[in-house]
Structure 1
Amino acid sequence: MNDLTPMQAACWFGRDANSVFLGGVSAHLYTEFNTRTLDLHQLEWALQRLYREHAILRMILCQDGQANIQEIPNTPSPILEIEDLKELTEQAKQERLLQKRNEWTHQRLELNRGQVIRFSASLIDLDRFRLHIDSDMIAVDPSSFRLIMEDLAQFYFDIESEFTNVPSFFDWHAALKNHSEYRKLSTRDRQWWQARLKDIAPAPSLPFIKDASNAAQSHCLHERLSLSELTSIETLARQNTLTLSSLFVGVFAFTLDQFIQDSQFRLNVPTFWRAPVLAETDRCVGDFANFLLLNINKAKHRSLASFTQEIASKMVHLLEHSHYSGVNILRDLSRHHGSTQIAPVVFTAALDLSGGKLFSEKVTQAFGSMDWSISQGPQVALDAQVVRIDNGVLINWDIRLDALELHWVNQVFTTFVKTLKALCHTPDLFDHDCNTLLDTIDGKSSSTHQENQQQTPKEEPLSAIQQAYLLGRTNLLPLGGVAMQEFREYKGHFSLPILRERLNSLIKKHDSLRTYICPDKLTQTVHKKAVANLIEVDLSEMSAQAASVYMDSYRARYTHALFDLDLPPWNITAFKVADEQLVVFARFDALILDGRAIATIMNELFASEDIHSEPLVLEQDEPENDVPREAAREYWCTKLSDIKLAPQIPWRKPLESINDAKFERLNITLDKKVYRQFYKLSAKRGLFKNTAIMSVILEILAYWSKDQFIYTALPVLPLYSGALANRSTFIAVTWEHNQLDLTGKAKHLQNDIHEGLQYLSFSGVDIARQLVEQCNAKPILPVVITNGLSWPTPPKDQTMQLASGLTQTPQIAMDIRFTKKKEGGLIFSIDYVIDALEASAVMSLLEALKTAIHDIVNTQEFHFDASNYLIDRQKKSPGSDKSLPHDDNQTMQDQISRVYSDVIGIQGSKQLDKDTNFMSMGLKPQHFKRIMSSLNDTFSLKMSVKDIIKCRNINEVEHLLKKSI
């Protein structure tokens, strides 16, 4: 048995997801080689020989962290895995290769079974092969990986090749520990580092994702410098008496500093020095990795040259004291500070390699070019590497997308590459002032920048409702902690360059997209300078599954994020995915735009042709408001005087106890034919479309309410023309459930709305304050009904389709909205606070709305009985009465099918049979909590997400439930 080095032990410990920050991953390197010729039998023999040559490839790592080397078997098992893709379509091949890349990027080799390296060959065509190699760094560090590939190529061409016996890595490690001179150096360096613990800079303050997923998700960014660019950089380094590696470290540290703005920070700089304590150590394969903690402090430096020269000087001192493990330094540092210390940013410069480049010609002849590599490591969020290759330098950054936003890292990466290329073409920039270097590279004029800063646009006061939106961002009121904002998601084929150009035109056209909000002064200003709040994220090299996982995680954060009001509060994020498709997330704060204006802007953005119209004039049939404010106040005080209680919806918990509101949306669609018949029938009775729909909604809500009475907020837009903005407000409407003629109640509602629009000088926040005083309760208007029928729908030839959305509003628990589909149907959406309502209850409301309208159409009578749709169980408690057993009239499989169909959004549970794979029907990770909740409610259980996450179909869920009941 053999002991592990400190680095090996740290990597072994980091495999445990709960052990360290950014844990749950193996320290491993995954690479892909592409070639047009590959003899698979010859490669298998070469691999067998390789395993005999290097004992560490036969290592077993036990659960106690002890390593053991297996004997060479008399009849060895095949090592090379082969996957034949030749019969697939080209698209299917590429998707499978991306899927395999994602799988191997995130795998953990089974060290306890002797799997320290894995080889696979994908047969793409008769003359196209891809060799996949994944090596665990506990056994094969990056410097050893080069040796592995050189030996494998040698054996591939000559299986009988002979080498001098190579020492075992663990023999080398034992010799090192017993080497008297090395032990003296190690003691000296330990004392040197411990005396300087207080001076080691903190870890860089990266913008880590809050509430990050526990599942690792790694991605790679890569770029190349040409041979001529490399030559220029080498010349610049020589002229400044720098090594090439020091110059690259300096540019990297300077770039990172521009984005984190720390006064000082530390970098993790790996080394791979092999103490020559045994003969032939240079051919030994193992984990020789160590790292140094490099302090970065740019403040006192005028130029990049001065900054980089200091880094080079520091590196010399650090290398002189590298006999004490970096892992031990971090442990000492953690004890010194009394908290876990990390070094999450790694910079590896492999530019001074023996042989001058990463792999020899022999490796390239045998296996082709290495066109992809990615690594993972515990506690590493960003691993930046630069390596010399045949035709220049490969810049490769491995990033943890579960820790850092891709668009942020992409900005840093782009700036790093741009700075290097600028130095290649303009070496004098190396002596340029650090503070203005990036502006100079970007071609910006500091004087123009100052002029823009000196402009003082006119300030306008915020309206009462805008001020209320600002207050809702805080947790001072229940159902707070959210911005009043709308999220929209679009999918389709659209040119990213056209999107950029179109967006810039819209920013210039619409003042609202240049509006800044000042929460301290409670003012808003329109700036002349256009700032495009556009984020571009390239996921085209990911598999469809990996891209979907990333976007799901991004969406969960994006939809609930609050805008930083240092910029106009809106954003467009465009994801470039495989097959030249675009996925666009759009988010707008209601501080600047209302729902109808947002729909208008998105239609202009994705129009089939450029829209060069003047600012839109909104034509509405709503009467102008001429009633004085005092008369309007008197009207509403009288109108709502009978209201004494907050709405008596059977919430999951008291609304006043919910501080941070988290929203979700559920939808249901009404067919175009049914909708057309419904509004024709309503028109014959003198009802407008919106009135008829709201009457159905209110009747169901009133029946569901404990006191058979409901009042809701109704957003309205007073007549305005000119620039798009948010001039919306709201009024309040009331409804009582009884057996009176529904048509008569609907007409009364229609009159109430028409009359209420006359009194908008006292509305919105004024009405809410009045009701708070009357009822002594908050929130007082938690239910909203939003009429989106007047919002513009996309033209039929628009290629980008609206896929989903979510609207959040402070102090609101449920927003029921109805909008037209592009094809002519109707969409009912409910945005609800998940702590206030069960998903099953919300879905039952949506189904009740749809069924009621169907029944009205079928009977040709504007009447329905809400008790037919909301059974007593739902009326008592919305989907959460755990005291009742499941419905005996339904089989268990029917009920399971209903739960999954509701949550996934499948219309009609019959689409799911007992063997249907949930994944194929659109099941996503974010669905599991809602499914768990609904199953627990339906069957009176207390299962966790982990119980159901492995169930692939109804049969497996039923088996699980029967074991649990």
Structure 2
Amino acid sequence: MSAINDKSQPLDLARLTLAIEKLVQRHSSLRLQVCSSGQQIHNPSNNTVHVIFNDLRDKPTDVAQQLLEQYRSTYSSQMLDIESGEVFAVALSLLENGNSRLHLDIDMIAADAVSYRTLLRDLALLYDDPNVELADLAMSYKDCRMAIEHNWESIKESSGMWWQTQLASLPNGPLLPLKAASSQHPITTRRHFNIDPQRKAQLYAQCRQYGLTPSVVLATVLAETLAGWSKDPRFILNVPLFQRPLAGPNIKEVVGDFSSSILLDVDTGPTATFVTRARDVQSSMHEGAARADYGGVHVLRDLGRARGQQVTAPVVFTSALNLGELFDANVRRVFGDPIWIISQGPQVLLDAQVTELDGGILINWDCREDAFVDGVLDAMFNFFSNTVVNLVTEPDYWDTHIGDTLPKNRAVAEVQEPVITKNLEHDETSLSMPIVRVVASIWHEVIGGMVVIFIKTYLLRVGILF
């Protein structure tokens, strides 16, 4: 999709800087500092975020595009210095013909998926009208964290005890075909496809027919896909949840990381139709979600202690289907259409994300390309996307055994343990820095960073995601 606007104007640096300053003053999580001990410090509201300015207006088109690619690579691979209070980075590139690109890098220790939408909405409002007065927040993020921590002992006695009873039976993460050693320079790539509004309506209608949620159906397709390449048909998936654990006025407007996760136990061993499998997944999802206040990171720690070795859940299924459009109409009007997004996290091999976009569904796979045996990710993604299309277009497909449709000549994992869990200890962009190890251990279930690039233009674009 391209933005076509004959009156397009470049973003103004001074106006953007002022909007960013007001945004940081409003949301204390953007001033969060995480010490090497894991302690979180909320810095004063006079902290500022420096906006990097790239003036490419006098550059030839080909040179400007090369520089934009370099910026994208730099910004997407940078590690924000959260130990010094850097959780939010902004850059603005001005181009010829009145075009501009806004680059945002947000560490999701400061903003979960719900908060990310709020941040973009507030930034658009503050930029569009510098005099706008946003409604006061009844609680700060620090207040919310303190309230959650106050309830921790009762959470351990209830949900924590339930998870303790599950430890002995929980499997490991899926064992997928990985290279003997991962790269010292991790490469994260994205695969994606869209379900248009008409097919989305068909999918939702079929889900209602079988009493299933769309998120569960897509999670089941992912599980069936992983099972086709995994050494073991039973494994855990890491499923982030974005429920606000507190009640109160304007609590949804507070920006921060309120996310938790559950470890979803998936068993694809016995032959079953897709509907039967999906109903099993939905039952397990509901059971785990009811105890999500004792999050997956704590369960993984408990598993590691019980088994005497590190246990990871390197495949993540992130559904935002109930959160609304990722970029609302006003964000697009002010900043243009998003053209590139990527997320990365320590110890994550694959993050499958589903979100609402343009009345349909956008499905992304963010993958550690360097970790997998060549060709595996393409084969898995093709099977996943074809299965989703078949479920939408062929009603009888729901009653088939999906495993029977797997490609015959596929690479299946032969290793006993995912090699990446130990090689990542030496990756300079993952767990090599002490502060990153602390954050990874605390927020393992949350993807560690996201970069979004917007372009405001009246020219057709190529190579965009949506």
Shorter-chain TM-score above 0.5: yes
Aligned partner of 2:30 in structure 1 is: 57
Equivalents in 2 of 1:207, 1:224: separation in Å?
Answer: 27
Three-state SS of the structure 2 residue aligned to 1:175 is: helix
Q: Does 1:118 align with 2:118?
A: no
Q: Relative to 1, partners in 2 of residues 1:162 and 1:250: Cα closer, same or farther, differing over 3 Å?
A: same
CA RMSD of aligned residues (A): 2.3
Picking from 87, 90, 94, the partner of 2:58 is 87
Q: Is the 8 A contact 2:42 2:142 kept in 1?
A: no
Measure, in 2, the Cα distance between the counterparts of 1:400 and 1:532. Answer: 19
Quick check: 1:48–1:79 contact (8 Å CA) kept in 2? no
| Aligned counterpart for 2:11 among listed residues 10, 33, 39 | 39
CA separation of 1:262 and 1:42: change in aligned 2, threshold 3 A = same
Question: Hey, what does 1:264 align to over in structure 2?
Answer: 234
Residue 166 of structure 1 deviates from its aligned partner by 4.5
- Which residue pairs with 1:173 in the alignment? 145
1:300 aligned counterpart, secondary structure: coil
Q: Distance in 2 between matches of 1:78 and 1:148?
A: 14
Q: Does structure 2 conserve the Cα–Cα contact (< 8 Å) formed by 1:246 and 1:312?
A: yes
1:494-529 deviation per Cα after TM superposition (whole angstroms, max 9, x unaligned): xxxxxxxxxxxxxxxxxxxxxxxxxxxxxxxxxxxx
Correspondence 1:251 to 2:224: no
Q: Deviations over 1:902-944 (max 9, x none)?
A: xxxxxxxxxxxxxxxxxxxxxxxxxxxxxxxxxxxxxxxxxxx
Q: Determine the structure 2 residue equivalent to 1:146.
A: 117
Task: Tell me the equivalent position of 2:460.
Answer: none
Residue 437 of structure 2 is aligned to residue 437 of structure 1: no
1:261 CA displacement: 4.8
| Counterparts of 1:34 and 1:387, CA distance in 2 | 24
Matches within 5 A, 1:284-323: 284-323=254-293
Q: Aligned to 1:220, what secondary structure does the other structure show?
A: strand
Q: Secondary structure of the residue that 1:126 maps to in structure 2?
A: helix
> 2: distance between equivalents of 1:308 and 1:433?
11
Contact kept, 8 Å, 1:147 with 1:283, in 2: the verdict is: yes
**Conserved? CA contact 1:175–1:277, under 8 Å:** no
Q: 1:178 to 1:63 in 2, by over 3 A?
A: closer
CA contact (8 A) 1:187 1:324 kept: no
2: distance between equivalents of 1:418 and 1:78? 44
* Superposition deviation, residue 34 in structure 1: 11
Tell me, yes or no, if structure 1 residue 376 matches structure 2 residue 347.
no
Measured after TM superposition, the shift of residue 277 of structure 1 is 4.7
Cα distance in 2 between the residues matched to 1:223 and 1:307: 24
Indicate the residue corresponding to 2:185 in structure 1.
Answer: 215
Amino acid at match of 2:399: D
Measured after TM superposition, the shift of residue 278 of structure 1 is 4.7
AA at the equivalent of 2:141: F
Encode CA deviations 1:82-123: one digit per residue, 9 max, x unaligned.
212233333322222222222122111122332211111122
- The 8 Å contact of residues 11 and 100 in structure 2, kept in 1 or not, is answered as no
- The TM-score normalised by the length of structure 2 is 0.82
Q: Aligned AA for 2:146?
A: A
- Work out which of the residue numbers 150, 163, 181 in structure 1 matches 2:135: 163
- In 2, Cα distance between the equivalents of 1:303 and 1:59? 48
What TM-score comes out, normalization by structure 1 length?
0.40
- Indicate yes or no: 2:334 matched with 1:363: no
Alignment partner of 1:404 out of 351, 357, 372: 372
Unaligned segments of structure 2, at least 5 residues: 412-466
Structure 1 residues 306 and 113: CA distance shift in structure 2, 3 A: same
Residue by residue over 1:860-882, the C-alpha shift from the partner in whole angstroms, topping out at 9 and shown as x without a partner, is xxxxxxxxxxxxxxxxxxxxxxx
Deviation (angstroms), 1:421: 1.3
The 8 Å contact of residues 10 and 94 in structure 2, kept in 1 or not, is answered as no
2:437 match: none
Classify 1:406/1:390 alpha carbon distance in 2 versus 1 (closer, same or farther; 3 Å). Answer: farther
Residue 421 of structure 2 is matched in structure 1 by none
User: Which residue does 2:197 correspond to in 1?
Assistant: 227
Opposite residue 272 of structure 2, the aligned amino acid is R
Matches of 1:34 and 1:342, distance apart in 2: 45
Deviations 1:606-664 (A, max 9, x none): xxxxxxxxxxxxxxxxxxxxxxxxxxxxxxxxxxxxxxxxxxxxxxxxxxxxxxxxxxx
Q: Distance in 2 between matches of 1:408 and 1:70?
A: 45
Match of 1:928 in 2: none
Q: Distance in 2 between matches of 1:318 and 1:389?
A: 28
**Aligned twin of 1:420:** 388
**Residues 1:238 and 2:211 are matched in the alignment:** no
Q: 1:198 aligns with which of 159, 168, 174?
A: 168
AA aligned opposite 1:366: V
**25, 42, 61: which is aligned to 1:69?**
42
Specify the alignment match of 2:451 in structure 1.
none
- Match of residue 131, structure 1, among 102, 117, 126: 102
Q: Are the equivalent residues in 2 in contact too, given 1:346–1:384 (CA < 8 A)? A: yes
Is contact 1:189–1:322 with CA below 8 Å preserved after alignment? Answer: yes
Amino acid at match of 1:172: C
Q: Matched residues in 1 for 2:313 and 2:126: separation?
A: 39
Residues 810-841 of structure 1, C-alpha deviation per residue, up to 9 Å, x if partnerless? xxxxxxxxxxxxxxxxxxxxxxxxxxxxxxxx
2: CA distance, partners of 1:241 / 1:231: 15
1:53 Cα shift? 0.7
Letter in 1 for 2:164: Q
User: Measured at CA, do residues 406 and 144 of structure 1 come closer, stay the same or move farther in structure 2, by a change above 3 Å?
Assistant: farther
Which of these two proteins has the greater Rg computed from alpha carbons? 1
CA offset digits 1:347-379 (Å, max 9, x no partner) = 1111111xx322221111111122221111111
C-alpha separation between the residues in 2 aligned to 1:120 and 1:177? 35
Quote how far apart the aligned CAs of 1:406 are. Answer: 5.5
| Contact 1:154 1:161 (8 Å CA) reproduced | no
Indicate how the Cα distance of structure 1 residues 62 and 299 shifts in structure 2: closer, same or farther if over 3 A, else same: closer
Distance 2:348 2:4 in 1: 28
Distance in 1 (CA, whole Å) between partners of 2:410 and 2:84 is 53
Stretch of structure 1 that moved more, 344-353 or 122-131: 122-131
Preserved CA contact (<8 Å) 2:49 2:88? no
**Corresponding residue for residue 670 of structure 1:** none
Deviations 1:662-685 (A, max 9, x none): xxxxxxxxxxxxxxxxxxxxxxxx
CA distance 1:124–1:335, shift in 2 (3 Å): same
> 1:56/1:77 Cα in 2 relative to 1: closer, same or farther (>3 Å)?
closer
1:320-719 superposed matches below 5 A: 320-353=290-323, 356-405=324-373, 407-438=375-406
Count of matched residue positions in the alignment of Structure 1 and Structure 2: 405
Q: 1:411 offset after TM fit, Å?
A: 1.3
Cα separation, 2, equivalents of 1:214 and 1:156: 40
Q: Does the 8 Å CA contact 2:110/2:257 hold for their aligned counterparts?
A: yes
**Separation of aligned partners in 1, 2:271 and 2:251:** 41
Report the Cα distance in structure 2 between the residues aligned to 1:202 and 1:282, rounded to whole angstroms.
34
The aligned amino acid for 1:178 is H
Per-residue CA deviations over 1:564-613 (Å, capped at 9, x if unaligned) read xxxxxxxxxxxxxxxxxxxxxxxxxxxxxxxxxxxxxxxxxxxxxxxxxx
Q: 1:107 aligns with which of 74, 78, 89?
A: 78
- Residue 77 (structure 1) shift: 5.5
Please tell me whether the aligned partners of residues 54 and 166 of structure 1 are also in contact (alpha carbons under 8 angstroms).
Answer: no
* 1:110–1:116 CA contact under 8 A, matched in 2: yes
Structure 1 runs not aligned, ≥5 long: 1-32, 440-448, 450-530, 534-965
Q: Deviation at 1:203?
A: 1.2
Deviations 1:307-358 (Å, cap 9, x if unpaired)? Answer: 11110111111111112121110011011111100000001111111xx322
Which structure ranks higher in relative contact order (CA pairs < 8 Å, sequence separation ≥ 6)? 2
Mapped contact 1:247–1:308 kept (Cα < 8 A):
yes
Correspondence for 2:414:
none
Cα distance 1:396–1:116, how it changes in 2: closer, same or farther (>3 A)?
Answer: same
8 A contact 1:105–1:218 mirrored in 2: no
* Conserved? CA contact 1:34–1:130, under 8 Å: no
Q: Please give the alpha-carbon distance, in whole angstroms, between the structure 2 residues aligned to 1:164 and 1:237.
A: 40
**How far, CA to CA, are the matches of 2:272 and 2:106 in structure 1?**
43
Structure 2 counterpart of 1:313, one-letter code:
S
